[in-house]
Structure 1
Amino acid sequence: MNEKDYQLQVLDLKISQAIALIKENRELEEQKDFFNNLPEWVTLDTACKLKGGGALETYRAKLFLQPCCGTNAQYVCGRKSWHKQDVIEWLSVTDHSLKAYAEKYGVTIPANYEERSKQ
């Protein structure tokens, strides 16, 4: 390998690293924008749309699946709502992590969901 080839490889590596950093920064900015654009208080309907995965009626019927396991809510214009920071934390909760999340709020979950947390 001659000096010119070596310099081209180094340049190619640096360009690849720069592209990766730009992509990472863009993703962080998009995430920051997403969180900044959430309203201060989030209804169950909006929270469920953001989270995905389950039907709104399931979340309504099973309080332990709601943000803060149905606790920590306030009523805003007569609608049950959670502060956006609580919703942001809840968005990453899966069945696997539900038991630990529920314990944080002093909520007991049904046995079948507790089994899912062990898997």
Structure 2
Amino acid sequence: MVQHLSPPLDLSFAALSDATRRGVIDQLGRADASITSLADKFQMTLTGMKKHVQVLERAGLVVTQKVGRVRTCRLGRSGLRAEAEWIEAHRKLFEARFDALDEIISEMKLEESDESAS
């Protein structure tokens, strides 16, 4: 299988493919939180939330710090910069292709109207 994304992007997009992990990112955008409070908020086991946080950590989207018995999570420093740049580049590509398609359709409609007028 051909790999099109770089490994860091693979990790980020895989991490963001899960609704719970996207919810964790949203929550941490409001305030840092312990894994326990995240587990409570998302009504899941502590073990389940730890696994979600580990996936986000591997992708660099979340950073954790353990103080005593509490592991606190906060957003990573990358801020989805590389992911946003990749998406923006591809959004521009899609827009250019759709603009070209719109132009072709307009030309076809113009030709149709010219033929029906003759």
Fold shared per TM-score above 0.5: no
Q: Which has the higher contact order (CA 8 A, sep 6+)?
A: 2
- TM-score where L is the length of structure 1: 0.27
The normalised TM-score by structure 2 is: 0.27
Greater C-alpha Rg: 2
